[in-house]
Amino acid sequence: MTRPFNTVAIIGVGLVGGSLGRALRAVEEPPHVFGIEPDAAAREWAVANGVVTEAFAPDSPRVDAMLGPGGVDLVVIATPVQATVGWLIRLGTLEYRGVVTDVASTKSAVFQIADMSLSADATFIGGHPMAGSERSGVEASSADMFRGAYYVLTPSPRTDPDIYRRLHSLLNSIGARVIAIRPEQHDEAVAAISHVPHVAASGLTNLAAERADAGEDVLRLAAGGFKDMTRIAAGSPELWTGIVFDNRDAVVRGVRDYTAILERFATLVDCGDSEGVREWLTRAADVRKALPARWVPASELLSVLSVPIIDRPGMVSAVTQAAAKAGCNIEDIEIDHTTEDTAVLRLVLTDEGDAAGLVADLAAQGFSPDFRPLQAEGVDGPGIPA
């Protein structure tokens, strides 16, 4: 299989950028991976330890060549949102014409800047790997960081199907589980599952610290549960300050909703409602136990969705966004061209989500989807019944 991209430039060779470099260089047919990093020591360490093939300072003339017309095939901006904005503007100024993605934890603002700044010949597909560590820096990077982890992509209706497929294939090759979602939906979701939990962990840590300042010997008693719940509070304050303000509205709503949930629990306890407390805790325990582990589904749990499409921008994103809306996870994707202008889009899906609803949604949009178990692919028979 031909590799999706021959040359990749990673801007920001830290924890995430460095892990991506390591992962890409470990695939069967690795691309040539360039690093762009302001810290000289990080550049030297990254090259010496095989994180990237070569590394350059942002003001190097080589960087302008890589990010200009005829430059690298793919640019990955692995920096905080504010720096990402600056790089998007620079890529537009240099008239870069390849594919651009990012790893920022908020998507709406980045998508708007990319749309305004990049050349019409460039393609931006927002990205957010749902993986990381409380540690930071390229020394903490790992080639296995993305293996089994969800990696969100936010294509637009104008995204070229072939480019989306190539980026999906690249991320799939490093073990990531790729899903597509609209930028605004992404920002609401990560506020609930990532940003508010970080605030909550920091709040618990600050509570214990205040009790310790008041003379209570609580920190000496901190053990497994407390340490597990507050581990993420050790993350970079500078990074998380930026994240919170980049996703300000969704974070504020999430914190207020979380506060209301805690207030309801406090009221139950204050009123002596043991049954209410038990139900509150049981619901949380049931939801937590139902969370999927990092797993690769057995083949009998996989299904194939085949959708005939006209090969034009927006078709792939329409199908993948419908899959995201239905809660279906895409394990793999391919496009089989039947003529110059037509193709069959095939998505391999896990057993998560409302597959029947997905089929109905696509049919309502004018597609003719066919859905069947992976093991039955190529065997005559019905898909999901109406």
Nearest Cα residue to 219 out of 201, 234, 206: 206
- The pLDDT of residue 294: 47
Locate all alpha helices (DSSP H) within 146-247, ordered by sequence: 161-173, 183-190, 196-213, 224-230, 237-246
Number of alpha carbons in the 13 Å side-chain half-sphere of residue 112: 6
Domain 186-290 class in CATH: mainly alpha
* CATH node for 7-181: 3.40.50.720
User: Which pTM does this prediction carry?
Assistant: 0.66
Give 124-161 pLDDT, tens digit per residue: 999 999 887 667 789 999 999 998 888 888 887 778 87
Q: Residue 382 carries which side chain, given as an amino acid letter?
A: P
pLDDT band at 216 (very low <50, low <70, confident <90, very high): low
Give 277-296 pLDDT, tens digit per residue: 999 999 998 888 776 654 44
Domains 186-290 and 299-374 share a fold: no
Q: Can you read off the two tokens belonging to residue 71?
A: 């430059």
Compute CA distances 279 → 192, 256, 263, 288, 289, whole Å.
22, 22, 15, 14, 15
CA angle, corner 156, sides to 150 and 157, nearest 5? Answer: 130
C-alpha torsion angle, residues 232, 237, 240, 242 (rounded to 10): 180
Nearest Cα residue to 153 out of 115, 112, 111: 111
- Residues found in the chain: 386
Q: Residue 213 carries which side chain, given as an amino acid letter?
A: D
Q: Long-range contacts for 22-25 (Cβ within 8 Å, ≥24 apart)? A: 22/50, 22/51, 22/141, 22/142, 22/143, 23/143, 23/144, 23/145, 23/146, 23/147, 23/174, 23/175, 24/170, 24/174, 25/50, 25/51, 25/52, 25/53, 25/143
Yes or no: say if 204 and 225 are a contact pair by the CB < 8 Å rule.
Answer: no
| pLDDT higher at 24 or 185 | 24
- The pLDDT of residue 155: 83
Q: Can you read off the two tokens belonging to residue 146?
A: 């993305």
- The pLDDT of residue 340: 74
Average pLDDT, the chain: 85
- The pLDDT of residue 117: 95
Nearest Cα residue to 169 out of 332, 26, 318, 343: 332
* CATH node for 299-374: 3.30.70.260
DSSP-derived 3-state class of residue 9: strand
For tokens 């330890």, what's the residue?
49
Phi, psi of 142 (to 5 degrees): -145, 135
Q: Summarize the confidence of residues 67-90 as an average pLDDT.
A: 94
- The pLDDT of residue 380: 34
CA–CA separation, 292 and 352 (whole Å): 10
Question: For helices 248-270 and 196-213, what crossing angle results, to 10°?
Answer: 60
Q: Domain coordinates of the chain in residue numbers?
A: 7-181, 186-290, 299-374
Yes or no: say if 198 and 232 are a contact pair by the CB < 8 Å rule.
Answer: yes
Give 233-292 pLDDT, tens digit per residue: 887 788 788 888 888 888 999 999 999 999 999 999 999 999 999 999 999 988 887 766
- The pLDDT of residue 385: 31
- The pLDDT of residue 351: 67
